[in-house]
Amino acid sequence: MGSRIILLRHGQTPSNTQRKLDTALPGRPLTDEGRKQAEIAGKNLAALCAAGNGDPGRLKAMVNSQAMRAVQTADLAAQEFNRAADLVGDERVVPETIEGIKEISAGVYEDQSSAEAFDVYLEHFGKMMRNDPAARVPGGESTGEFVTRYYGAVSRQIRDKLTASTGQALDGDLVVVSHGAAIRVFTCLSTGTDPNFLVENYLDNCMFSVIEPRGEEFGRWTLLSWATRDGAMLE
């Protein structure tokens, strides 16, 4: 097994329960349920990364978007990961906040909860999953702009955290705490997975997408796990 990218959706927020588009920074914080979800995710990550007995296992780094909900999710997940793996002092996993992995912009529909707003947003990122270069919510970003910023951020982390000085991929995991629509589109475009599969199997709060690049070009990566809470492999 080589390098894996573990994409973790943030925990529940008031915007999720109110069905409100919340894509601009800093966004809203986690609910109490969202905090519990993040803590459970941390324990599940420890198992997924085979961490324990003072060893982080496969985990090389954990990064999160700048949104408040992602920062909180990463912090809580890391705390539980460290506890489950018995990591102390400098050995503890400390999440890093990075640019580029925020949610896909809702544009003029930001902070709205109308059926029209959701229909347009869903249609927009549905077209993005099919790599339509013209897809764009009014006032939002295009498919190309999204891929440039998101893939750019992830590829930099792969280079910095999952690549040896010799240029060879390390046998380890990078956890990226991000957002529902962004994870769905990135997973689809990076692996070539059928968009219908990713839509029909909903990625709920604190669920995982696990991707393995295997040295292939973007678009030909392998999807190992989708929409699970424990990273269970696809059959």
Place domain 4-102+146-228 in its CATH homologous superfamily.
Answer: Phosphoglycerate mutase-like (3.40.50.1240)
Q: What pLDDT is attached to residue 134? A: 86
Q: What pLDDT is attached to residue 26? A: 98
DSSP 154: H
| CA distances in angstroms from 127 to 65, 133, 143, 185, 227, listed in the order given | 23, 9, 8, 9, 20
| Domain assignments of the chain as residue spans, ordered by start | 4-102+146-228
Q: Whole-model pTM?
A: 0.96
Q: What pLDDT is attached to residue 234? A: 86
Which segments in the chain show pLDDT lower than 70?
A: 1
Two structure tokens written together for 132: 């339509």
